[in-house]
Structure 1
């Protein structure tokens, strides 16, 4: 836990853990924290660093906010940030082509029922997602 919290440090919590749990363990947020940029419901993974920014501070690339992957370099050009299937919110999933509110909710429900996706292809276990939909979104998602 780093950034705009009262007690930065390492915290051991019982899974499943969401961002809000870690913030509480760290004594809460500083008054200058950029709460509008934090998804309090995003799931955390073991060993993940949570960095809470102050105001409009740029979050260091090595500490992306949960639910958002860093931009990747590809031949010197930056690609759009990938959506992490294991932490994405309903709204983030709906930004994917062919994924509406119902399908996004199904993805989250599957993730919560069966655990984290291990491969992008695991999305096929979600009702209504087949090869065509997977082909449309596979370059936009990640399962780190």
Structure 2
């Protein structure tokens, strides 16, 4: 799959993320990440998330997946994290797929177009080692 940048889709995802996150003071990472994932037409968007994490980025990723007709998958480390994440995303009107498990194992077999890793876990290297990327 060849990645082709679409500024129109990126702009649409950016604006919907602004509205969805109800951000009123400048831009944020969620808007940028949403625009990047949508603009590159990512079909499989994967993120890792842990309890207590912010969900604005997750909302942006869901918005991007809608604009690309893609799939947004969240990898949560345990059932408590999954429940917290699911509740927050449902409150925002989003319902991405959630997998419970170690990210290094969960990404095996996936061909990922766009990956966002929770930096609090310090496992980026291990996840990237196991992941396969499209594009």
- How does the TM-score come out when normalised to structure 2? 0.27
Which structure's CA Rg is the greater one? Answer: 1
Bigger helix fraction? 2
User: Which structure would you say has the larger RCO, counting Cα contacts within 8 Å and 6 or more residues apart?
Assistant: 2
